[in-house]
Structure 1
């Protein structure tokens, strides 16, 4: 299970994704199932997410 900032979750009509940093300027789009919000941390809402 991941804890991510709200603005890191990309919600579309076909699902939810986050971008993982692979290094050297490369990123990987990963489908996740969004869980519940955990409230604010440093002014940003936090979500739980699980890889599909």
Structure 2
């Protein structure tokens, strides 16, 4: 139950970050680095779930 709640919170935060990045006036390089960081985080999260 707690895991599902944490998953929902995590998804909401990632969606919020993505929207903020899409609407920001940062350079394309900074946006790319931020999106890559989010993707790395998601990949590591999936790997850690498989190891549980």
TM-score, normalised with respect to structure 1? 0.19
The structure number with the bigger radius of gyration is 2
| Greater relative contact order, per chain length (Cα 8 Å cut-off, separation 6+) | 1
TM-score, normalised with respect to structure 2? 0.19
Q: Which has the higher strand share?
A: 1
Q: Which has the higher helix share?
A: 2
